[in-house]
Amino acid sequence: MSFVLGLLLLVAALFALMLGASEVGRRIGVARLARHSGGLATGGGSADAATFALLGLLIAFTFSGAASRFQDRRDLIADEANAIGTAYLRVDMLPGDVQPPLRDLFRRYTDVRIAVYSQSLDDAALEARRMETTQLQGEIWRIAAAAVLREGTPTSTSALVIGALNTMIDITTTREMATRSHPPPVVFLLLVGMSLVCSVLIGYGTSQNSERSWLHTAVFAAIISLTVYVIIDLEFPRVGLIRVDAADEVLRQARDVML
């Protein structure tokens, strides 16, 4: 089952649960009205308002965090492209005999980094590309380090080359951690739980109506369900409908200039 289909089914289930929770709340209210002719219990408006406000805050913070992480992941793609490009240019500062093999390694390395994220749905291929990344980093580092340690190599050259390679290597870890960075599952469980509680309160509040009206309940459930969908989709920008794939073009452009 694809990620998008699974997420749509999850959201549809949330929508159905919210409608069911609203019906439960309505029946609770109807039962109370049957027992007490004075109507529903009064004084609960403050509690209702606080509950809905808490749901709003939870959605706002969760959505804001997801959007921020989405943008950070896009920015890191550009950062990695810049780091690879800078390190590649500084190969010019090394002795001429090490430049051809290093340039070839850089071309292979950039191809692998592009493949790491284009194959994100294939766990076996992804792990192979990660191992290849580590291997190529080691080879690039070994050749470059040996070159800058040669007698007569200026200290400034060593600092510039090694610094650029450090940045290029370190950002792979940063991108890996950004890919794995998500809110704890309890946050989503709390969001679902609060949505159901608010649905119960809506059903309870409308139980005084003689006829059942689904308009407000259905609109509320649809809005919350769609919001949850967007939040989760933002959290997984390589497999959903909202994607960062277009940002990979900067890596391809960096590869194109490696003649």
Among candidates 107, 94, 83, which has minimal Cα distance to 144? 94
Neighbours of 191 (CB within 10 A): 21
For the chain, the average pLDDT equals 88
Neighbours of 81 (CB within 10 A): 23
Q: How do residues 6-60 score in pLDDT, each as one tens digit?
A: 999 999 999 999 999 999 988 887 777 677 665 565 556 777 889 999 999 999 9
Question: Do residues 66 and 234 make contact, with C-beta atoms less than 8 angstroms apart?
Answer: yes
The Cα–Cα gap between 172 and 42 comes to 58
Question: Do residues 223 and 47 make contact, with C-beta atoms less than 8 angstroms apart?
Answer: no
Q: How do residues 101-116 score in pLDDT, each as one tens digit?
A: 999 999 999 999 998 8
Among candidates 101, 92, 112, which has minimal Cα distance to 251? 112
Among candidates 167, 166, 162, 137, which has minimal Cα distance to 76? 167
The radius of gyration of the chain's CA atoms, rounded to the nearest angstrom, is 28
Q: How do residues 65-77 score in pLDDT, each as one tens digit?
A: 999 999 999 999 9
The Cα–Cα gap between 162 and 168 comes to 10
To the question of pTM greater than 0.75 for the whole model, the response is yes
Identity of the residue numbered 249: E
Q: How do residues 185-214 score in pLDDT, each as one tens digit?
A: 999 999 999 999 999 988 887 777 767 777
Under 8 Å CB-to-CB from 126, ≥6 apart: which residues?
116, 119, 120
**Exposed / middle / buried, residue 23 (Cβ in 10 Å: 0-12, 13-18, 19+):** middle
